[in-house]
Amino acid sequence: MGRYDENINEVAARTMALFYLFDKSGSMSGTKIAQVNYAMKDIPKIIKDVADSAPNANIQVAAATFSTNVNWLTPKPLTPDEFIGQWHDIHAEGLTSLGAALRSLNEKMSRKGFLGDNPMGYLAPGIIILSDGAPTDEWEKPLEELKKNNWFKSATKVAFAVGDDADQDVLAKVCGSKEAVVSIDDPEKIRQYIKFVTATVSKTGTTSSTGKSAQEIVNEAIKTIDNDTPVVVDIPDIDDDQW
């Protein structure tokens, strides 16, 4: 029996929050948005698997979409079991308001927002962003403000740039380096990329290491991704009845 089958309040462990920011603008329609939806149905079991091997840490999920507006799909960071009941398939429409998403992330990544409820404290968060276009709003000032956030400074960040129209330079500035940006040429692979990075960021963020930062370890891991080879993450079969 894993730790998430116990009362989470009885587990004396710090929490790692995984923040997902998904572009759901109109250009994400079809295969792209479908692959995101498929991936997020896999996420709870991936997180459970990682967390059960990290006895001193819990992992929770917070997810938002951005298009013309920003919408948080989670009212707070949720356990994997809670997330199963909260996630609903998202649909593509609207613009690409990345600046608004960064501003909202700054608000949520605070003790008054999503990182204030755990009496045992929090580990450095993980941030996973996906976009297939360029921002349609002003994003530089929100990013400047976000970079002052100590949680954001310590977070492990990865961005997915989907297709040729994705602005990889902007995503690199958000993540802090080009090495943290994963280019996805084939939309059919979005699901596997999200799963791989989720497992990698979760494991790295809840495991002690020496000599390298969590960001460096994750950057090295994503270098091994070959766009011509399927990304494989070994997790149990997903029970679609849960959704």
Give Dmax over CA atoms of the chain in angstroms. Answer: 48
CB atoms within 10 A of CB 243: 13
First to last CA, the chain: 22
Identify the structural domains of the chain with CATH numbers, from first to last: 3-242 (3.40.50.410)
Per-residue pLDDT of the chain (243 residues; tens, 9 = 90+): 454 444 444 445 889 999 999 999 999 999 999 999 999 999 999 998 998 887 778 999 999 999 999 999 999 999 999 998 888 999 999 999 999 999 999 999 999 999 987 778 899 999 999 999 999 999 999 999 999 999 999 999 999 999 999 999 999 999 999 999 999 999 999 999 999 999 999 999 988 766 789 999 999 999 988 655 545 444 433 333 333
| Tokens, residue 106 | 């700054």
Q: What is the pTM of this model?
A: 0.89
Q: Where are the alpha helices (DSSP H) in 17-109?
A: 31-52, 80-86, 98-108
| Tokens, residue 188 | 């059919």
Yes or no: say if 62 and 162 are a contact pair by the CB < 8 Å rule.
no
User: Using CA atoms, how far apart are residues 60 and 77, in angstroms rounded to an integer?
Assistant: 5
Residue of 71, 78, 132, 81 whose CA lies nearest to 101: 71
